[in-house]
Amino acid sequence: MTGGARARVVTGCLLVATAGLAPAAPAPGDPVPHYDIAATVRPADGVIEATVEIRFPRRPAGTEHRLLLGRSYAITSLTGVGAEVAASEVDAPIPKMRLITVRPTGTAEASIRVTYAGPLFSLATPAINAVSASLVELSVDSFWLPYSADLGAPFTATALIQGLPAGATMVANVPHRREGAALRLDAAQPTADLAFIAAPGLTESGQGRFRILAPEPGSPVATYYREHGAASVDFLERMLGPMPGGSATVTVVRRANGSGYARPGYVVVTEVPGAAPTAGQAKFIAHEFSHLWFTRASPTSEDYWLVETPAEYLGLRYVEAALGSAALESLLGPKRAIAAKAPPLLGRGRASDGALYAKGPLLLFDLEATIGRAGVDAVLRELAQAPRHDTALFLTILRRVGGEAAAREFEAKLR
């Protein structure tokens, strides 16, 4: 591994594909596609083989389903029942994808069956996922499943994953269990990703609803994440209410790409052996756990600021509470420089990283001066209870908590 952990720990999502992956779209009770997955990984040569059957709920005639699969996987069979299917290569909205289009031929339920195999796909170099003897780590980053082209669209799934390293500890973002040497995933509730890790030598520790798995539980980074993971969950629950999903797992992995990511209740972080932890990593873990409450805005619209900005603000607030105001200031200083040049949060679709992670959180600190810290906390606590987040809802709550003038002033700063 090269580079310091500090530079490589990202607070959010490097790739479009990793953004805000919580089930965002359906109204409660809306049917979602169901995936039945049989996959085998080949750690010796970094290959994934899979057969996936997808049943689509009834839709009005003419409704097309579009799925994206990493282009490194060669499709050897693609068939449809009650649907015409086709595959092509596309480079938008994500580069190097295979696009599978499914056109139902009637109004009955349509299904497809696709078989494919190939080396692990990645948009990043080095990859954020892995298929190796020491670590198998899959998520949407490797587009190992045909994901909806509406990134973040939810689905249910059952999966059996074979070929995992002998003696591997297994952890996933959905209910799962070991079946012999295989991993069974059972996502009966809609999810926007199937993410899992299987690695030999991961040791579990932690307490209550928080647990951590690490190659070396006593390493400085694992110790730091254990301490700040548990403490940040407590901090966030005190402010926002009970943690959605009821549990949070952090897995520490060692791979060349130092980027972490989060799904609801499931956080992946990386460590460089021997590296010392930093305040930025305490913020990172609190930021990622904040996404348990804040991932309910559309990842492709201007409302996406309600995913990253509250998470980053709460990460910073946790640093202040746990490590003090000097540690907070060490993180805010660079943000002021970025925010000064950042474009607005609203009005141009999904905002830039500078707006989301620097300007937005600083605006929330500014808002404390107007309506008080207790006022900002009340707004976030009420927002955290809502099933879906958009700017209009945020401003409605702000108006009620802080008054018309404060809401108008804040909205002007967002634009």
Residue 346 backbone zone (phi > 0: left; psi -120 to 50: alpha; other: beta): beta
Give min distance, CB of 111 to Zn ion, in A: 34
Give min distance, CB of 362 to Zn ion, in A: 16
Residue number with CB closer to Zn ion (32 or 356): 356
Residue number with CB closer to Zn ion (163 or 360): 360
Give min distance, CB of 224 to Zn ion, in A: 19
In this structure, are strands 248-253 and 266-270 parallel, antiparallel, or unpaired? parallel
Residues 6+ apart with CB under 8 A from 231: 318, 322
Residue number with CB closer to Zn ion (48 or 236): 236
Alpha carbons within 13 angstroms on the beta-carbon side of residue 199 total 27
Please give the single-letter amino acid code of residue 334.
P
Which ranges of 241-359 would DSSP assign to H, the alpha helix? 279-290, 305-323, 325-341, 353-354
Enumerate the β-bridge partners of residue 170: 198
291, 311 contact by CB (below 8 A)? yes
Give min distance, CB of 310 to Zn ion, in A: 10
CA pair distance 21, 35, nearest whole angstrom: 17
Give min distance, CB of 260 to Zn ion, in A: 10
Give min distance, CB of 280 to Zn ion, in A: 14
Which ranges of 44-101 would DSSP assign to H, the alpha helix? none
Closest by CA position to 333, among listed 291, 305, 380, 365: 365
Distance, first Cα to last Cα, the chain? 41
Give min distance, CB of 291 to Zn ion, in A: 6
Give min distance, CB of 284 to Zn ion, in A: 9
Residue number with CB closer to Zn ion (267 or 327): 267
36, 312 contact by CB (below 8 A)? no
Please give the single-letter amino acid code of residue 107.
T
CA pair distance 226, 365, nearest whole angstrom: 27
Closest by CA position to 113, among listed 38, 217, 44: 38
Residue number with CB closer to Zn ion (269 or 311): 311
329, 399 contact by CB (below 8 A)? no
Chain residue whose CB lies nearest Zn ion: 12
Give min distance, CB of 311 to Zn ion, in A: 5
205, 211 contact by CB (below 8 A)? yes
Residue number with CB closer to Zn ion (141 or 308): 308
Give min distance, CB of 158 to Zn ion, in A: 29
Chain center to CA of 229: 17
In the complex, the residues that contact Zn ion under the rule CB under 5 A are 12, 308, 311
Please give the single-letter amino acid code of residue 162.
Q
Residue number with CB closer to Zn ion (97 or 312): 312
202, 196 contact by CB (below 8 A)? no
CA pair distance 285, 11, nearest whole angstrom: 9
Residue number with CB closer to Zn ion (104 or 361): 361
